[in-house]
Amino acid sequence: MLAKLLAHFAATGLPVALFAPPVLSLMMPGVYLLLPCLWAGLLLGGLCFSSIGLLGAALALGSRRNAALQAVIVLPLSVPPLIFGAGSVTSGQLDMGFLAPLAFLGAFACVSLTLSPFAAAWIVRMKVTTP
Amino acid sequence: MITKFANPARFERLAKTLLPVLTGLATLLLALGLCDALLLSPPDYQQHDAVRIMYIHVPSAWLAMMIYASCGVAALVFIVWKHTLAELFMRAAFPVGAVATLICLGTGMLWGKPMWGAWWVWDARLTSVLVLMFLYIAILALMDAFDRPEQGALAAGWLTLIGMINLPVIKYSVEWWNTLHQPSSLSSFKRAMKPAMADEMLRPLLTMAFGLFCYAAIIVIVRLRGEIIARKRLISGKR
């Protein structure tokens, strides 16, 4: 499960996290000041989203209307990382230091990354074994 | 103790004795509470009559969180011991909790417009309750998305347990973050002894709260009876 999660992150979250901030700073002047914040935020946020998505996929496994259901499950869980990620950029722009929201984002990433593979594995195992 | 009450026949007997008592209590408390809240209690010195929204807003918020917590316990019981009654309780109680959350958000918006000048702000309390609403919607959608009801309840139970983390976030959101939403006036038993609220306002608030709790308990019990009958039909139909 962890391998699947990391593979998904490497395919979707990682390229965005690596290449979006420099491209953005070419398009918008002043963004380069926030480059470290954007890199860290997108990396941690991508990890959060990948592990939330893992849970969503495990929960919706074998259901009808699989895709729509996944979106509904993932929506409430992905609100906190979104808020902290956006909050870090906002407070970075206001010169208030972006580390505090990033710390929350990092905490969310740590918890979700360590727990969601086990939870997802358990859910899938129970779905397979229950008659 | 759990196994004692997990017997549907025993639940049926319990429901028969509880329902009239709860109906009487709910009628009495809601009638008294509404009179008290709308007529007898004084208007606020700043908010005037708009403060009366509190008497429905706060109890429905408590109700939404209490139903979620009780469903969390039921989800744990279902996942660990596979008690069907726990599954049926989740099916009976979740829509009631979702409606309570909706009432809480709706009355909150109606209250926010005249007091804050905005229907909605993205502050921590409001956002975490919105997350609770989304969780309720996701769980309700997940519960009915499988061909076999046990599988749906299993997935929904897991999501319920994951979402339990949101309850303390809702409760302490007004203390951890700087919010536009006011901090709690009755946050603990210690403060409930000396609440930041006048007695004439506390009395209708608590009356309404207990009245609504009784009312919600009636709905959950009646819905649970229906769920039990439907499940029995499903089982006997399969044979």
pLDDT(B226) > 80: yes
Residues 120-139 of B with CB under 8 A from A: 122, 127, 130-132, 134-135, 137-138
Separation between Cα atoms, residue A127 and residue A62, nearest integer Å:
9
Would you state the pLDDT for residue B1? 47
CB-CB neighbours of B229 under 10 Å: 11
Q: Per-residue pLDDT tens for A58-105?
A: 988 888 877 888 888 898 888 888 888 888 888 888 877 778 888 888
| Average pLDDT rounded to a whole number, residues A9-24 | 84
The CA-CA-CA angle for residues B202, B206, B211, to 5°, reads 150
Would you state the pLDDT for residue B61? 94
Check CB contact under 8 Å for B155 and A83.
no
pLDDT(B109) > 90: yes
pLDDT(B239) > 70: no
Would you state the pLDDT for residue B149? 85
CB-CB neighbours of A102 under 10 Å: 23
Name the pLDDT band for B90 (thresholds 50, 70, 90).
Answer: very high
Check CB contact under 8 Å for B127 and A77.
no
Check CB contact under 8 Å for A60 and B147.
no
Name the pLDDT band for B51 (thresholds 50, 70, 90).
Answer: confident
Identity of the residue in A55, A63, A127 whose CB atom sits nearest the CB atom of B145: A63
- Put simply, whether B80 touches A (Cβ < 8 Å) is no
- Residue B8's identity, in one-letter code, is P
Q: Which two tokens stand for residue A57?
A: 């996929």
Q: Per-residue pLDDT tens for A25-47?
A: 888 777 777 888 888 888 999 99
Full 3-state SS string of chain B: CHHHHCCHHHHHHHHHHHHHHHHHHHHHHHHHHHHHHHHHCCCECCCEHHHHHHHHHHHHHHHHHHHHHHHHHHHHHHHHHCCHHHHHHHHHHHHHHHHHHHHHHHHHHHHHHHHHCCCCCCCHHHHHHHHHHHHHHHHHHHHCCCCCHHHHHHHHHHHHHHHCCHHHHHHHHHHHCCCCCCCCCCCCHHHHHCCCCCHHHHHHHHHHHHHHHHHHHHHHHHHHHHHHHHHHHHHHHHC
Q: Which of A6-15, B178-187, B222-231 has the highest mean pLDDT?
A: B222-231
| Average pLDDT rounded to a whole number, residues B51-68 | 92
Question: Which of B116, B160, B120, B165 minimizes the C-alpha distance to B137?
Answer: B160
* ipTM here: 0.78
- Residues in chain A, overall count: 131
For residue B95, how far is the Cα from the chain centroid? 10
Instruction: Find which of B126, B130, B146, B165 to mutate to test the A interface (most A CBs within 10 Å of its CB).
Output: B146
Taking the CA of residue B144 and the nearest CA in chain A, the distance in Å comes to 9
Identity of the residue in A76, A123, A126 whose CB atom sits nearest the CB atom of B134: A76
Q: Find the helix or strand (DSSP H, E) in which A71 lies.
A: helix A66-77
Q: Scanning every residue of chain A, which has its alpha carbon at the shortest distance from the alpha carbon of B79?
A: A126
pLDDT(B179) > 80: no
Q: Which two tokens stand for residue A97?
A: 């230091």
Name the pLDDT band for B222 (thresholds 50, 70, 90).
Answer: very high
Q: Which two tokens stand for residue B239?
A: 């044979």
How many residue pairs from chains A and B have C-beta atoms closer than 8 A? 63
Question: Which of A22, A69, A13, A21 minimizes the C-alpha distance to A44?
Answer: A13
Q: Residue written as tokens 């959350």?
A: B101
